Amino acid sequence: MELDDVMRTTFAAREFTDDPLPDEVLWRIFDNARFAPSGGNRQGAHIIVVRDAGVRHRLAVLGTPAARRYLAQLRAGENPWNPVHPSDVAQEIVDSTEVPETFITSVAKAPVVLVVSVDLEVVAALDQDLDRVGIAAGASVYPLVWNILLAARNEGYGGTITTMAIAREEQVRAVLDIPATHAVAAIMPLGKPTRQLTKLRRRPVAGFVTRERFGGQAFDG
Ligand SMILES: Cc1cc2nc3c(=O)[nH]c(=O)nc-3n(C[C@H](O)[C@H](O)[C@H](O)COP(=O)(O)O)c2cc1C
């Protein structure tokens, strides 16, 4: 595929056919994705390839509590899990929120789930002393995560970055023997998508790019 097409059509695939994702294809995906950058080129990422159905199911279930809160906040008109405005949704409401089966099936039913972590001992977290949630460390792993999805798309496969289970990171670590110094960055179901989305809903360039300052003139080319 052309690079432009790959970038414009790599969507969040959550439903997969029964087709396998063979190791040799997965290897090619990794072999292309590994050229992603990381801060200081420290390359602290680690990927666990999970095919075991029992482990996939456990990972899917670990995402459920966070999904409960996500959905409850969404229904209350909040931006779920945002780190700026504390949630006004009562815990009883969160606890009684049903999580649709589809929330866990993508991880439970995908032929492969990748668990991507990053070694916090080697990332450059330039914002660690600021009075806000850290974001800079993620820049040392998410380019790799996204490269995986682009490379998978190029091979005719697809997947999704999922993050719900990160709220239960300790348990995810325990399931997979991930060292305590590693942060879990993504749990990615991968497989052959049942359908292909080609028109992604995204803001136009002028909707989020401005000239010279934040409130500057919209960049319309
Ligand atoms: C940081 C991040 C976290 C995400 N977490 C989840 C998740 O936990 N579960 C899920 O189903 N999708 C998750 N997604 C997928 C997004 O919902 C998806 O990329 C977005 O809605 C755009 O979908 P589209 O490409 O199909 O248009 C996540 C995406 C990103 C980038």
Q: What is the pLDDT of residues 177-201, one digit of tens each?
A: 999 999 999 999 999 999 988 899 9
**pLDDT tens across 89-99, in order?**
999 999 999 99
pLDDT > 70: what percent of the chain? 100
**Ligand 1 contact via 64 beta carbon (within 6 Å):** no
- For residue 137, the one-letter residue type is A
Task: Look at residue 104 and tell me whether its pLDDT is greater than 90.
Answer: no
Query: Under CATH, which number does the domain 3-195 receive?
Result: 3.40.109.10
Q: How many residues does the chain have?
A: 221
Residue closest via CA to ligand 1's atom 11 equals 162
Domain map (residue ranges) of the chain:
3-195
Please name which of 147, 153, 156 lies closest in space to residue 45, comparing C-alpha atoms.
Answer: 147
pTM of the model: 0.97
Please name which of 84, 88, 112, 115 lies closest in space to residue 20, comparing C-alpha atoms.
Answer: 112
**Ligand 1 contact via 25 beta carbon (within 6 Å):** no
CA 129 to centroid of ligand 1, rounded, Å:
28
Q: Please report the pLDDT score of residue 45 as a whole number.
A: 98
